[in-house]
Chains A and B, each alone.
Chain A
Amino acid sequence: MRYFIAFYFLFFLSRLNAQELYVSTEPASNMPSKSIGIRLNNEIMPPYTNKAQGVNNALMYRINPEVMIGISKRWMAHINLYASNMHQNSYKFEGAEIYAKFRFLSFDQVHSHFRVAAYGKASLINNRIQYNDINLTGDNSGVGGGIVATQLIHKLAISFTGGYARSMNNTENSLSKFQPKDALNYSLSFGVLTFPIKYTGFNQPNLNIYIEFLGKANPATNEQYVDIAPAIQVILKSRMRIDLGYKKQLAGNMLRINTQEFFVRLEYNIFNAY
């Protein structure tokens, strides 16, 4: 019976195409040169209480408009703006982040590739610094960088990210001496295309399923966590993307804003935009 299940699983995988348009991370591949992507990202955190850490948060929401630019076949950049009620009761504009990625290795074959890219990011945020989870996408000012490696094979796309982030004083609030300044982040992501089984046209909707493991560690305070982040994705007319994701902590001891999150992204791509 066990062999039968394993065999069935392999058979199932062999009928699928891989996808690397990850929801929680970026792949090593870039967007096409001269294309522009517009995203509206929405983070929703349900009420969360952790008595031991003194955390008692109500429902929280962050809106994050994002513009992505394919500069050349090797370079791309993102610009993000953030607004939320995550650090106070009312909604306010929090700041901005820029992200750039350089693809420096690419081995392409029909229906497969292996790519490696380096990324760097910098953010300016005005929030209060209340948690030890250094998050340059909305909570902390700082700089970060790392490496992404993605292997796409016909059946499965696997991606690994390893990075470092340095937290700095937020524009209106400073780090206390007890708060960590350095974080290591890593992730392992898997993606498959479940529909269509056979591509016949650009207007066919695509349905992709992802599962990602996202980890972070603060060496100075010896805090860490690992999240599991499943997501589904619909691609319409080969240019529109809808991502629905959920993230939950599998294990961890870090003082963080929440241990779970719902995520909704709307994306529209314009090819040959300029």
Chain B
Amino acid sequence: MENKVLKSVILSLFSLIFITDAKAQFIKAELQASGLTCSMCSFATQKQLKTLDFIDSIGTDLDHTTFMLYFKKGKEVSLDMIKKRVEDAGFSVASLKVTYHFDNIKIENNYHYEYQKNLYHFMDVKPQTLNGNVLLKLIDKGFVTDKEYRKFLKQATPCYQTGKMPDVNRVYHVTLL
């Protein structure tokens, strides 16, 4: 009898985790690449991005060297790999704006949100509750221009420079748009 109760508790807990996990996820990202103008360069960048297994499809705005990345459902998204692929093509990330689906999360400055073993550290935000699709801007080094990076560096905690904290893969720093 006790076992049955335990089982149902475990099951309901699992389903709860499953439900939150299914709802809370990356939807898409708007990536602007820098250092390029030519269509051959954009094409090479798009080809590099296509090798990432969590990207479902890519839309392009060549005139602004901007790519809209649509993510596959349920796949782990690595924002660092997006940056690496742009750099492999020979260019840099000027900005990365990610649409994330939140499920009633209360945030404030320095709030750490955990998703897929990574922490997302909110900076320069007002206390508020995030619900539904929210646009986040990555502000880590290599995801913004050097000028923007230096601006955030003035108000940042040590993990902003290292991107590391004990027991997590990576700490990304984000702000709201």
If the complex has contacts A32-B48, A32-B88, are A193 and B38 also in contact, measured as CB distance less than 8 A? yes
Q: Is A35's CB within 8 Å of the partner chain B?
A: yes
Chain A residues near B43: list those with CB within 8 A.
202, 238-239, 271
Give the CA-CA distance A241 to B92 in the complex, in Å: 24
Chain B residues with Cβ below 8 Å from A31 are 44, 90
A188-241 interface (Cβ within 8 A of B): 193, 198-202, 204, 206, 235, 238-239, 241
Bitwise, B14-42 to A at CB < 8 A (1) or not (0) is 00000000000000000010111111101
Assess whether A272 is in contact with B62, with CB atoms less than 8 Å apart.
no
Q: How far is the CA of A202 from the CA of B59 in the complex (A)?
A: 12
Known A-B contacts A106-B92, A109-B94; the reply to A235 vs B39 at CB < 8 A is yes
Question: Interface residues of A, CB < 8 Å — how many?
Answer: 38
Q: Taking A202-B39, A206-B38, A271-B44 as contacts, is the C-beta distance between A30 and B65 under 8 angstroms?
A: no
Q: In the complex, which residue of chain B has the Cβ closest to the Cβ of A270?
A: B47
Query: Are B37 and A17 in contact (CB-based, < 8 A)?
Result: yes
Assembled-state Cα–Cα distance A73/B90 (Å): 5
Q: Flag if A34 contacts B92 (CB, 8 Å).
A: no
Contact B44 A235 (CB under 8 A): no
Q: How far is the CB of B11 from chain A (nearest CB, A)?
A: 44
Question: Is B62 in contact with A202, judged by CB distance below 8 angstroms?
Answer: yes
Report which of A18, A108, A193 forms a contact with B92, defined as CB distance below 8 A: A108
Task: Report chain B residues within 8 Å CB of A109.
Answer: 34-35, 94, 145
Say whether A235 contacts B47, CB under 8 Å.
Answer: no
User: Do residues B63 and A199 form an inter-chain contact, with CB atoms below 8 A?
Assistant: yes
Please, which residue of chain A has its CB at the minimum distance from the CB of B50?
A272
Majority SS at the chain A contact face: loop
- B87, CB-defined interface residue at 8 Å: yes
Selected from B32, B47, B91, the residue in CB contact (under 8 A) with A271 is B47
Check A110 against B94 for contact (C-beta < 8 Å): yes
Is A29 a contact partner of B90 (Cβ separation < 8 A)? Answer: yes
Closest chain B residue, CB of each to CB of A198: B63
Interface: B3 (CB within 8 A): no
| Chain A residues closer than 8 Å to B65, beta-carbon distance | 110-111
Q: Is the CB of A202 within 8 A of B63?
A: no
Contact between B42 and A21, CB atoms less than 8 A apart? no
Q: Which of B46, B89, B145 has the most CB of A within 10 A?
A: B89
Question: 10 smallest A-B Cβ distances: which pairs?
Answer: A108-B35, A199-B62, A238-B43, A108-B92, A271-B47, A113-B35, A33-B88, A32-B44, A32-B89, A108-B34
In the complex, given contacts A21-B38, A108-B94, what are 13 additional A-B residue pairs having Cβ atoms less than 8 angstroms apart? Answer: A17-B38, A19-B37, A19-B38, A30-B90, A32-B88, A32-B90, A108-B92, A152-B37, A199-B42, A201-B62, A239-B40, A271-B44, A272-B47
